[in-house]
Amino acid sequence: MRDYEELLRRVLGLVGEERRVEIEAEVERRVAEDPRLTRLGALYIVAGELGLFEGLKQSSSTVALSKLVGGLSSVNIEARVIGLSKPRREPPAIYLRLGDSSGVVDAVAWGAAVGRLEALGVAVGNAIYVRGAYTRERPDGSVEVHLGEQAEVSEAGPGQPPLEQFFAELPEVFEARGAVDLRAAVLGLSDERSVSVKGEAVGVKDLLLGLRGVKAEMSLWREQVGLLDESAVGKIVYVAGAKWSSGGTLTTSIRSSIYIPEREAHEPILLKIERELPQKGMLLGVTRESVEKVYSEGLRPGQLVLVRRYRYMRAGRSWALVPLEYESTGLEGEVRPKLMRVGGLRVGMVDASVEGEVASKSPTTRLDTRRGEIDFSSFWLRDESGSIYCKAWGGAVKMIEELREGERISLHFVRVVSNPWGEREIYVGEESFIASSEEPT
């Protein structure tokens, strides 16, 4: 059966998908006339009568994506579509991200190939066979597949890895170079804002992504802004072709795509409210996976609740968990998250929590900046896995002034950034919180 489907795919790649009914009807007629004939044998006869043997011979071989190089004028590939942009009309183009068992490449369809993709109904998750593509080497040395006017596209047979295999979980993609394909839950969305890029006003929306207690921000730009709305909160998304910016934020481009499978991400969480925070209306809460800044008018320190539905909202430079549906558990006891170790911190992590010892501390100084004079302070935090430089500006300096060298502390709601030399640093902001490890969280 598989041999029949493979041959049928190759035949339709030559004569066009629109002739499928005609070809299969002819195969069935041949089998009915001669019961000794298999469907595969009948298909070979039909292909021979159509004069397709030479074409089948030429189309029989495909190239693994990892073996592609720039400059190939005619190449056949078979791959799963893991990313697909919306069609661009002037000039007609669709950006794709394709994967097989050997690797992943970017692709772009032009002109008539756009219509062929649309006629076939290609979507994320489909496996396709492309005949007559060509390749180009991009300035960064990567290879891009082009589907031009002569390229033929048809459905591929089974054999490609499942879609989820191409997407790494969020905690695995920090500090990755180049394009990344990741899977994470949408925890919150900011309001759209406008920024000036070369004199042009451009729309931007920030997302908070998370998985297994680790969080990162991703920015949607231009036409990507409309890809997600509040209905995406609480769902798993597959993001194809995102990149890390120099500032440690995931960004998208016209080549990126976001796919939402039909399943929810949110599981009920057990939330313990520990204390009030200095920011108005904010509470410090803990779950089994993370320490959270919580915004709620109904919760109080000491409460242990089961939160069934929630979202995150922007709170300054950090994010706050907003419980939407919750109930008291009637339970007692402690909920203790596992804080991160210094060696596990990665550039791009936001609202992270880490525990360690204050190894050394610098006195507060005043620095001249473009916005005037500002207080600055820093210290080194260490544990058995390593050490990291921590810095604070402005109002956050007061928290550091109270620290003592040798004191064991926990830092909450901090960002992990990169300095000009590519080294990891912790940024302590006014929304951050520092507690002695001897205190309750």
Which one of 3.20.20.150, 2.40.50.140, 3.40.980.10, 1.10.40.50 gives the CATH number of domain 65-163? 2.40.50.140
pLDDT of residue 440: 41
Q: Does domain 170-259 have CATH number 1.10.10.10?
A: no
pLDDT of residue 262: 75
Q: How far is CA 359 from the centre of its chain?
A: 36
Q: Do domains 65-163 and 342-436 have the same CATH topology?
A: yes
pLDDT-derived band at 255 (thresholds 50, 70, 90) equals confident
224-244 confidence digits (pLDDT tens) = 777 788 888 888 999 999 999
pLDDT at 60 over 70: no
What pTM, to 2 d.p., does this model score? 0.78
Q: Which amino acid is at 60?
A: S
Domain map (residue ranges) of the chain: 2-59, 65-163, 170-259, 269-328, 342-436
pLDDT of residue 57: 47
* CATH, domain range 342-436: 2.40.50.140
Is 67 strand, coil or helix?
A: helix
Q: How many residues does the chain have?
A: 441
List of residues 6+ apart from 405 with CB closer than 8 A: 358, 359, 360, 361
Q: Does domain 269-328 have CATH number 2.40.50?
A: yes
Q: Tokens 């056949």 belong to which residue?
A: 76
Is 37 strand, coil or helix?
A: coil
Q: Supply the DSSP symbol for 226.
A: G
- In this prediction, residues 413-417 reach a mean pLDDT of 93
